[in-house]
Structure 1
Amino acid sequence: MEDNPLKLPLVLRQNTRKALEEERRLNSERTKRRIQQILWHAVGFSFAAVWIIPFLWVVRTAFLPKDVAIDSGWSWGFTFENLIHVWNGAPFGRFFMNTLLVCGVVLAVQLVTMTMAAYAFARVRFALKDLLFMLFLVQIMVPPDVLIFSNYQVLNEMGLLDTKLGIMLPYFASSFGVFLLRQSFKQLPYELDEAARVEGASRLHILSKIYVPLSRPIYVSFAIVSVSFHWNDFLWPLIVTNSEENRLLTVGLAMFAKATESGAQWSDVCAATLIVSAPLMIGFLLFQRQVIGSFMSSGIKG
């Protein structure tokens, strides 16, 4: 039975109407998505501006001549004299080396201790393992500043006050790093252990040849967090150290900013601030792809 030719225009009109409605719906959804993207970008740029504007002001003031640094108007003056004066006016070279030493040694010891502890909590069977792990994680809930007085007493009894080892000792173990690495180790197939043991590999060999290489993004992410924290740490090094030969950059910056001859010189203070913050900023700009990639690939799963 053939279709009625009179019904064809009606069907075509209905199909055309449906196509137009579908196109309008798609255009409306595209417009909504574009508006949402614009709003999110505006919010992101607003938060970025809140952070970047003070930093740009510090960079600009650090390179301005002292006679125009406090003026309200705009100036195109440029000089390196502020950086040279600040570097020679305080032992920032020694502070810089002390900070590098503390960050490097703390990170190296943390990587060893958290690797051993994370493997034990993830793969080794022993009594009360879960209870001990929960007690170990209590450190994450306790702010480090709460333990300053007790740590100070312990270091005083050990005779480690005003020493670099005294600054580093309380941070040789990281509960956050153990938790992060344990979750990564638990995600790895247990068959890797069994295959390695069949070949006669020891636990240390399995740990160094299988678990550590496969958890590289976790190590990179933790290293970034650890170095950033200890580079910017101020309160604990301020309390522990008294001499210039053991002070870190943050403490040296505070002492320099409080000096009577430099307290009103914003160009000198900004130059000192730039000296302290520039290494981390340069490191992030040079390795930002690796930094972002490590955090994106180090997600925690249960």
Structure 2
Amino acid sequence: MSTIALPHQERGASFWRLVELVGCYVLGLLWIMPLLYAVWMAIHPPEYEVRFDLFAPLTLDNFIAAWSAAPFARYFFNTFVLISVILVAQFVICTLAAYAFARYEFKGKTVIFMLILLQLMVMPEVLLVENYRTMVRLGLVDTVLAMGLPYMASAFGIFLLRQAFLTVPKELDDAARVEGAGSVGVLLRVYVPLARPVYVAYGLVSVSYHWNNLLWPLVITNSVSTRPLTVGLQVFASPDQGVQWSIISAAALMTSAPLLIAFLLFQRQFVQSFMRAGIK
């Protein structure tokens, strides 16, 4: 039987696809190695932190010690309340703003939208002192509301939802208005359902950022009753107790597990939403 030789261009394309695939596997391995090492230290006794033994005994003592060393139940509660308040406020504010920029014409629209986009270039740390002074004047220092108030409006969320709303055909607006829906009805019945994957993706980004945010909660909180998980983890770095990496790994896994599970459940919507919004 005679073999058919592949054209030179096809062989070159196959080679680069193979290189790309190998590169993805290498990067994935580099990303997952620290996580696997943290899991190894968390489920084994401290003497196996730097010594690999396939038959090392498994234990949950590190998780029990980590949970007992700090009021994790309170930290989890504060974090969930903080994330929920920020996410609900961002969804409402960003949805209304994005709908206005996508479907209404008003004076200064372009300038205002450009000013909003400029906020993406401002690091939150730049506003740290001024935000703290504002919270002091409002009497909100050491409260969950103070941690979330500076983040309840998001320039990125407005931009992302505006991009999604622009893809909705205007004929759907007309059809909804013929049925008697007003502006709010059109928004809730047409735009919000069609942008559901975008809401999921933005929600994951927002939750991930505020779940891992450390500097602002560390500055604005003073008591255990208001601290989130990121600030609570600082107790394991105390010089008095020393650094116990097995317990720190267990605590870190407990705090990061909800985010990992959320991303695994919604990873398809996360990728598709950015593709639909035209963001690369």
Please point out which of 114, 122, 134 is paired with 2:102: 122
Q: Give distance in 2, aligned partners of 1:217 and 1:238.
A: 33
Q: Give distance in 1, aligned partners of 2:243 and 2:68.
A: 18
Aligned pairs (5 A) from 1:214-229: 214-229=194-209
Shift, 1:266, TM fit: 1.3
Contact 2:89 2:152 in 1 (8 A): yes
Please point out which of 214, 238, 254 is paired with 2:218: 238
Please point out which of 286, 289, 293 is paired with 2:265: 286
Query: In the alignment, which residue of structure 1 is the partner of 2:141?
Result: 161
Q: Give distance in 2, aligned partners of 1:38 and 1:157.
A: 59
Please point out which of 237, 240, 248 is paired with 1:260: 240
Contact 1:167 1:240 in 2 (8 A): yes
Please point out which of 247, 254, 258 is paired with 2:227: 247
State which drifts further: 180-189 or 239-248.
180-189
Closer, same or farther in 2 for the Cα pair 1:293/1:122, shift >3 Å?
closer
Query: In the alignment, which residue of structure 2 is the partner of 1:38?
Result: 18
Shift, 1:29, TM fit: 4.1
Query: What whole-Å deviation, never above 9, does each CA across 1:59-90 have from its counterpart, x for those lacking one?
Result: 10011112x13443435221001101110110
Q: Give distance in 1, aligned partners of 2:132 and 2:139.
A: 10
Please point out which of 127, 130, 135 is paired with 1:147: 127
Contact 1:217 1:298 in 2 (8 A): no
Query: In the alignment, which residue of structure 2 is the partner of 1:299?
Result: 278
Shift, 1:287, TM fit: 3.5
Cα root mean square deviation, aligned: 2.0
Identity %: 47
State which drifts further: 162-171 or 216-225.
216-225
Query: In the alignment, which residue of structure 1 is the partner of 2:115?
Result: 135
Contact 1:119 1:182 in 2 (8 A): yes
Closer, same or farther in 2 for the Cα pair 1:29/1:286, shift >3 Å?
same
Please point out which of 91, 104, 120 is paired with 2:71: 91
- Which secondary structure state, in structure 2, belongs to the residue aligned with residue 246 of structure 1? coil
Query: What whole-Å deviation, never above 9, does each CA across 1:173-205 have from its counterpart, x for those lacking one?
Result: 001110111122122222222333333321111
Aligned pairs (5 A) from 1:65-76: 65-66=45-46, 68-74=47-53, 76=56
Q: TM-score with structure 1 length normalisation?
A: 0.86
Contact 1:106 1:171 in 2 (8 A): yes
Q: TM-score with structure 2 length normalisation?
A: 0.92
How many pairs align? 278
State which drifts further: 72-81 or 45-54.
72-81
Closer, same or farther in 2 for the Cα pair 1:290/1:119, shift >3 Å?
closer
Q: Give distance in 2, aligned partners of 1:285 and 1:190.
A: 34
- Which secondary structure state, in structure 1, belongs to the residue aligned with residue 97 of structure 2? helix
Query: In the alignment, which residue of structure 1 is the partner of 2:188?
Result: 208
Residue type of the alignment partner of 1:269: I
Contact 2:163 2:277 in 1 (8 A): no
